[in-house]
Amino acid sequence: MGPSRSPRPPPLVLLLLVLSLWLALGAGDSPPTESRFVNSCIHARKKCQADPACKAAFHQLESCTSSAGTALALEESTMSADCLQATQQLRNSSLMGCTCHLRMKHKATCLKIYWTVHPARSLGDYELDVSPYEDTVTSKPWKVNLSKLSMLKPDSDLCLKFAMICTLNDKCDRLRKAYAEVCSGFRCQRQLCLAQLRAFFEKAAEPHAQGLLLCPCRPEDVSCGERRRNTIAPSCALPSVVPNCLDLRSFCRADPLCRSRLLDFQTHCHPMDVLGTCATEQSRCLRAYLGLIGTAMTPNFISKVNTSVALSCTCRGSGNLQEECEQLEKSFSQNPCLMEAIAAKMSFHRRLFAQDPVDDPTASVIQQQKNNPAPRPQPRLPVLSVFILTLLLLQTLW
């Protein structure tokens, strides 16, 4: 008997079948957020790594910033010649204009790259300190089921209604329960609570998060106002001993994430005049404001009777920096851009529940969303089946 070739083992087939199912279920989809904005620092670093000179300069700068401490601003005078040369070298690179996204994957890596190359941007007169986060606001339309909305008790206040909208959405509900769990009463664990609050505002759909926090109340409705103030579980999330505002800011700046969020707020909630015109779009200011919740500088509504907000800190004991401290305090509590942005969002939320929202172009997203459901990704199973069948056929021929 001649030696017969042993039949091919089946694991290959199994593997392919598993792979095809995995792809068909969409697990192979690349995350959309990162590719949608071209200027990501992660992408820019990849480009830089491909160029030996850029790669070396970046590497050099990494050691400069780490030896100077994580988030301390490097002064030109205190920089070594090697570090200065590296910053010069990088000024022509793609890293110069790179940004991060509040909701991207690998956020921490992106911010680390941003702050590493930051000295190259800020030394000399290249540009003023700007937010690490991209400027544009791409808001997704509401995905609220109108028939579910009509099931809500008609006489409940709007903050309760927005809380119920969150509950009706699996993701929002899960993320809200996650922070409620670690932020509530005797189970309060402040650091965990802050982390879960950040997770909520990063991961829940923006309309859900904004609806929950920036819900409108009638002026006399204190239980609504109380609910709104308690949205972020202030008794756990905010410090029990009120710190000095400048100390709080120093503490925040020592942490890359908090530092980035604060700079984002300062960039985008910057009032241009007393009327409340913002330096950029109002919606961008709100995104920056919500980005601070869960950091050391978490702001909140100060009372149940109005929509004034403030940081949980005091300017007592600021010594000769009293004025600087009050400015910081006022950038939250008396910021016309922020106040206008909050008022506009609340009135938008009020109109969503108005009897006749059809006249309002901003509210039409709901109707539109209802009529045009988001396109579903096409299943790729047929193509893959053909591919697998071809492979199986080839195998029988071997």
Ligand X SMILES: *[C@@H]1O[C@H](CO)[C@@H](O)[C@H](O)[C@H]1NC(C)=O
Can residue 84 be called a binding residue for ligand X (CB under 6 A)?
no
Q: Say how far apart CA 111 and CA 101 lie, in whole Å.
A: 9
Q: What is the DSSP letter of 295?
A: B
The residue (of 90 and 183) whose beta carbon lies closer to ligand X is: 90
Smallest distance from ligand X to CB 88, Å: 6
Interface stretch with ligand X, choices 23-31, 65-73, 302-310, 385-393 (CB under 6 A)? 302-310
Give the residue, chosen from 66, 306, 327, 367, that forms a contact with ligand X under the rule CB under 6 A.
306
Residues 6+ apart with CB under 8 A from 310: 299, 300, 302, 329, 332, 333
Can residue 223 be called a binding residue for ligand X (CB under 6 A)?
no
Amino acid at 224: C
Can residue 152 be called a binding residue for ligand X (CB under 6 A)?
no
Interface stretch with ligand X, choices 235-243, 301-309, 345-353, 376-384 (CB under 6 A)? 301-309
Two structure tokens written together for 332: 């939250």
The residue (of 118 and 229) whose beta carbon lies closer to ligand X is: 229
Can residue 92 be called a binding residue for ligand X (CB under 6 A)?
yes
Give the residue, chosen from 302, 310, 343, 344, that forms a contact with ligand X under the rule CB under 6 A.
302
Taking CA atoms, 349 is separated from 208, 210, 211, 342, 353, in Å, by 11, 9, 7, 11, 7
User: What is the SS3 assignment for 117?
Assistant: helix
Interface stretch with ligand X, choices 12-20, 141-149, 224-232, 261-269 (CB under 6 A)? 141-149
Smallest distance from ligand X to CB 57, Å: 9
**HEC string for 19-76:** HHHHHHCCCCCCCHHHHHCCCEHHHHHHHHHCCHHHHHHHHHHHHHHHHCCCCCCCCH
Give the residue, chosen from 67, 80, 88, 327, that forms a contact with ligand X under the rule CB under 6 A.
88
The residue (of 100 and 163) whose beta carbon lies closer to ligand X is: 163
Can residue 145 be called a binding residue for ligand X (CB under 6 A)?
yes
Can residue 59 be called a binding residue for ligand X (CB under 6 A)?
no
Give the residue, chosen from 20, 33, 85, 89, that forms a contact with ligand X under the rule CB under 6 A.
89
CB atoms within 10 A of CB 250: 11
Can residue 147 be called a binding residue for ligand X (CB under 6 A)?
yes
Q: What is the dihedral of CA 212, 213, 219, 225, to 10 degrees?
A: 90
Residues that bind ligand X in the complex, under the rule CB under 6 A: 88-89, 92, 145, 147-148, 302-303, 305-306, 308
